Structure 1
């Protein structure tokens, strides 16, 4: 090639090529489908089989659900309407049982004229839990979170408002004992006083204080028996109480299992292993049948309270192991850093160790909560009317004898809504903590 020709040809581009869109197969949904569903012969086969199974299921379920009958007084009436409108061989759900019996599935045998009370209690609970779940909210609203358990109890069970106030005063006595006795005699003595003084108050002063306040300002709601509480409301009460109480207890058990103090360590190990080694249904039967044998004669210990105690203990054992896994995952340097800062045991746990361990343990903790909430259906075996138990009562009537799927689909959707919400909050919390620690 001559020198003249070499000098006329540029060796580098002096203009930029106009930007162009990527090929259709390399962007958007087409790229995702190609990479995840048709990337190889095995993926193609699994995709085809999966699509067929989904089509087969939807082709049977959707007509059954969409063609459902909502206005009928019995299963036989549902069938007559189906035969007249869709034909005798048509697939149609009898949603009329849900339209007629949904209050019973939600509230059990709670008096219908008092439905506003559990609804208001649920609203109070949602308002109280918001500052706990979302720290961005004003911290002043935490007072509502502290008062909510007593307000919810009074709204659901009724009776004198001073009963709930008197119980709350017992916790206030414990807090005051921990604060003032702890300052004077140390944290250990303050903790012991915070545990003992409320018990003394509830045993000897609770009833006189309640009676005196009730005589001065009588404020009461119509009492409702525990036997009238059932349905999904029962599952919510047991599930929420178990979740709320088991988390702090599980954290204490996890710390106790890692303690260097022999008695505390072995006690926590024994408790965790015994509780985890026995099925929940056995503990529920224990709460129902055997717990009264250990109480003074004539003591009437509410069955739902016994169930809540057993469910709380059962869940706390599992949470303890989840939190212990989070503690074990932390590098040893974090403990050494806390010691280097001169922090005592409780401050190092509260400020450095536990925040990181709980962050690691979030998926396991939420998974335990979801399992606990679903396990509330086991109370049907000890006589409490949870949603599953109420389906048996509904199907035992002459109007709805023989109906199955509609009731269980409705109950399943209710449980799915709450469990899915807990799972989504877990993902939100993980993303939030990941962003904050970048």
Structure 2
């Protein structure tokens, strides 16, 4: 053994340095591996991949040429989009979109009063950013602004007239009275201390209730500022009444979608809780409403709201022609929202209810603090899906004579000023882009909310 070892000693080798790490083989990692594993992992996947590639090659170049390369971007009438007038192939007529943009946004709203719609748009954008941006401060003030100040201001600005001005004066009086009451109550502890003397302990015990009830100084100040500015505008410029029959375009689309989304969620929560209630009457009424509304199409609900509802109320109390579909859409979306939220409530473990009750929480405290936050987090995809469907279903209000965004596009297609072979395709493409961007934005935001709320559950 010793001789053999000594004989092989010159050929022995011991590595003293670590080899440099090499990249993974192309068949395991990298673009080629991803393509092989996801696009050509089986004969069926390979056939579907090749079919999709063929569809893209066959359609995308033509669409790019029609909507971008051969498109007409400027012009004042149909002559700019006619091939025999310009002497070349003509694609999409974007000049028609640019010329009718104002009508697509405002409908027939008077030109001299469109500044009122612009103010509402700015307030709406501010409220959305205030609520949806996670880093924005004073979230409670933002909630008050979006759900109280914005609806009241939008009603006053968009409608106008004596009725809206009376409502504005009422809001200013109420807000000013609350401000005066808050100012007076702020001196109550000092006055009580002066009169009571040694009874300061009773004052200190009463203070938390005063503070909890009259804490919102910022809300009163914000209300005074906003309603005061609107009053100044109404006094200097004037707010003549604009009938809802003149509203249209994106204004009506956003209005119907916002009202439906804002009201359907709380109504859906109430209906979902009612359907799971142990009180037979409440449960029965909730089930009847949900199943009846879900059993008919939205068109039927809109016809009922527009045609049948005025028959059950006196003529002088008949709802406005725009208010009727607003109510119908909100109730229709609430029924679907109730089933989505009920799914989240049923997914909650029984231990959550037992733990909340063991802490001595009542029913509403348990739902508000323990159950509903977790249930709503679970069903975020379903909630956003309902919102997206509601936003697209706003186009159905055209059936009852409401000029939403899609209806304004259809109305301009018969305008002889822009009657060309490519006008219709351009108008519907513009509508598709608008609805896609809005729905895609809601979808992406819901994904970010899901990731943020699920951060504590990652393993």
TM-score (norm: length of structure 2): 0.79
Structure-2 change in CA distance of 1:9 and 1:310 (3 Å): farther
Matching residue of 2:36: 34
CA distance in 1, matches of 2:368, 2:335: 21
The question of whether the paired residues in 1 share the 8 Å contact of 2:74 and 2:80 is answered with no
Q: Note if contact 2:397-2:404 (Cα within 8 Å) is conserved in structure 1.
A: yes
Match in the other structure for 2:141? 141
Asked if residue 333 in structure 1 is aligned to residue 351 in structure 2, the reply is yes
1:219-265 CA distance string (max 9 Å, x none): 75232211111012111100011100110010010001000011110
Of residues 255, 258, 268, the one that matches 1:237 is: 255
Aligned to 1:316: 334
Q: In structure 1, what is the Cα distance between the partners aligned to 2:24 and 2:301?
A: 62
Structure 2 portions without partners, runs of 5+ = 178-230
Correspondence list, 1:241-256, <5 A: 241-256=259-274
Task: Say yes or no: does 1:398 pair with 2:416.
Answer: yes
Alignment of 1:361-380 (within 5 A): 361-380=379-398
Query: More displaced, 360-369 or 24-33?
Result: 24-33
Shift of residue 170 of structure 1? 9.1
Q: Which residue of 1 aligns with 2:126?
A: 127
Q: SS at 2:319's partner residue?
A: coil
Deviation at 1:425, TM superposition (A): 0.7
State whether residues 150 and 168 of structure 1, in contact with CA within 8 Å, keep that contact through their aligned partners in structure 2. no
For the residues of structure 2 that align with 1:328 and 1:170, how far apart are their CA atoms? Answer: 43
Unaligned 5+ runs, structure 1: 174-213
Task: Report if aligned partners of 1:377, 1:387 keep a CA contact under 8 Å in 2.
Answer: yes
- 1:118 CA displacement: 1.7
Q: Conserved in 2, the CA contact under 8 Å of 1:287 and 1:303?
A: no
Q: Quick check: 1:247–1:319 contact (8 Å CA) kept in 2?
A: yes
Partner of 2:170: 166
Q: Does 1:49 find its partner at 2:69?
A: no
Change (3 A) 1:168 1:352: farther
Is residue 225 of structure 1 aligned with residue 228 of structure 2? no
- 8 Å CA contact 1:150–1:165 kept in 2: the answer is no
Root mean square deviation of aligned Cα: 2.9
Quote the Cα distance in structure 2 between the aligned partners of 1:5 and 1:166.
110
State the shift of 1:428 in Å.
Answer: 0.5
1:116 aligns with 2:115: yes
1:411 paired with 2:411, answer: no
Which aligned pairs between 1:255-334 and structure 2 lie closer than 5 A? Answer: 255-334=273-352
> Against the structure 1 CA distance between its residues 344 and 11, is the aligned structure 2 distance closer, same or farther, given a 3 Å change threshold?
farther
Counterpart residue number, 1:188 = none
Cα distance, 1:9 vs. partner?
Answer: 8.1
CA distance in 1, matches of 2:126, 2:310: 36
Residues of 2 paired with 1:55 and 1:345: CA distance? 60
CA contact (8 A) 1:68 1:94 kept: yes
Q: 1:257 to 1:11 in 2, by over 3 A?
A: farther
Deviation at 1:312, TM superposition (A): 0.5
Q: 1:79 aligned to 2:99?
A: no
CA distance in 1 between counterparts of 2:54 and 2:403 reads 40
Match runs of 1:3-14 below 5 Å: 3-4=5-6, 14=16
Cα gap change, 1:376 to 1:71, in 2 (>3 Å) = same
Q: Write the deviation string for residues 361-400 of structure 1: whole angstroms up to 9, x where unpaired.
A: 1001100000001101001111111122223321222223
Distance 1:54 1:135 in 2: 39
- What is the deviation of 1:31? 3.3
Shift, 1:92, TM fit: 1.3
Q: Hey, what's the Cα distance between the residues in 2 that align with 1:172 and 1:294? A: 39
Specify the alignment match of 2:362 in structure 1: 344
Partners of 1:9 and 1:350 in 2: CA distance: 79
Aligned positions, number: 394
Change (3 A) 1:168 1:345: farther
- Normalised TM-score (structure 1): 0.82
Instruction: Give the deviation of 1:83 after TM superposition.
Output: 5.4
Contact 1:63–1:91 (CA under 8 A) maintained in structure 2: no
Alignment of 1:172-211 (within 5 A): none
